[in-house]
Amino acid sequence: MVDVSKAQDGGIIKKILTEGAGDTPSTGNEVSVHYTGRLLDGSVFDSSKDRDQLFKFKVGTGQVIKGWDEGIVTMKRGEVAILTCKPEYAYGASGSPPKIPPNSTLEFEVEMHDFYGEDCTESSDGGVLKSTTVAGTGLSNPREGATVKISWVMSHMDRELEKRSAEFILGDGAAHDIVPGIETALLKMKKGETAKVTVKSLYAYGNVGNAELAVPGAADLTYLLTLESFEQAKYKYEMDGAEKIKFAEQVKQWYQRRVREYQTFQHYFKQINLSHEISFRATGLFGGCLQR
């Protein structure tokens, strides 16, 4: 048995019943567990198994009792453990009537099923998942238009393909050869934070890949990303005259780049369609259809 409380005050005692494998969840990860909660006399006050439904929550964010926030992050997939939580790590002096009396020490038998990073995408499609490895500082995240300074190491299938740093305006990453998934993750990060970011191909280099970086088509990538610093962009009402003129010029340049990117995109797909048509004609597929 081991004390897994951050304060090392005996508040959370962990006893492993079944060893797990692999890594452990990070703050902000969504975890899926089965659990049974008991008082010290052995009486059960709650169980996800009785409901036959896994319990899911974001660990380390205050969605559950303190004993879980600090204890669950020590568990591996497949691990089964008993977490014994003192009252100050459970429901405290008030308890949770009617099942949990005041000042109760509780035992939770917890089975870790799975966990994954915070979904940073607006559509919650799992395309950009972030797991914090080093916590950042402050309460704010950079917003669109902020000047950010970042560094990262990108890998595919455990093979390092890129190591870079950059300073740019958030929302303008394409002009600096930064994939959309990086910008999506940065909107959820704090200053000084380092995170493992898993980026699906849709938010990286798509089906085309990147020959220069040896990224194959349809490749999901892993980034170890650090937000070193950022400076928020001012809202328009906060700007003076000169700043408004500069901002308008930046918007104009941004729009012009997007138009060029769209035109390139259209040209690319026209070429694909043309090559397919030529291929079909060469194999007689079009001719055969017309003759019929």
pLDDT digits (tens, 9 = 90+) for 35-76: 999 999 999 999 999 999 999 999 988 999 999 999 999 999
Q: Rounded to an integer, what distance in angstroms lies between the CA atom of residue 80 and that of residue 112?
A: 6
CA distance 284 to 137: 64
- Over residues 256-274, the mean pLDDT reads 62
Q: Is the pLDDT of residue 284 over 50?
A: no
Rounded Cα distance between 163 and 184, Å, is 19
Q: Is the pLDDT higher at 180 or at 268?
A: 180
Sign of CA dihedral 202, 207, 210, 214: positive
Evaluate the CA torsion angle 238, 241, 245, 248 in order and state its sign: positive
- With 0.75 as the threshold, say if the pTM is over it: no
Band of residue 270 on the pLDDT scale cut at 50, 70, 90: low
Query: Range with the lowest mean pLDDT among 49-53, 190-194, 247-251, 271-275?
Result: 271-275
The torsion of the CA quartet 94, 98, 99, 104, rounded to 10 degrees, works out to 20
**Residues labelled as active-site residues:** 35, 45-46, 65, 91, 108
Element (H or E) spanning 37, and its range?
Answer: strand 30-39
Averaged pLDDT score across all residues of the chain: 89
Which residue, 129, 9, 118, 123, is CA-closest to 70?
9
Residue 289's pLDDT band, with cuts at 50, 70 and 90, is very low
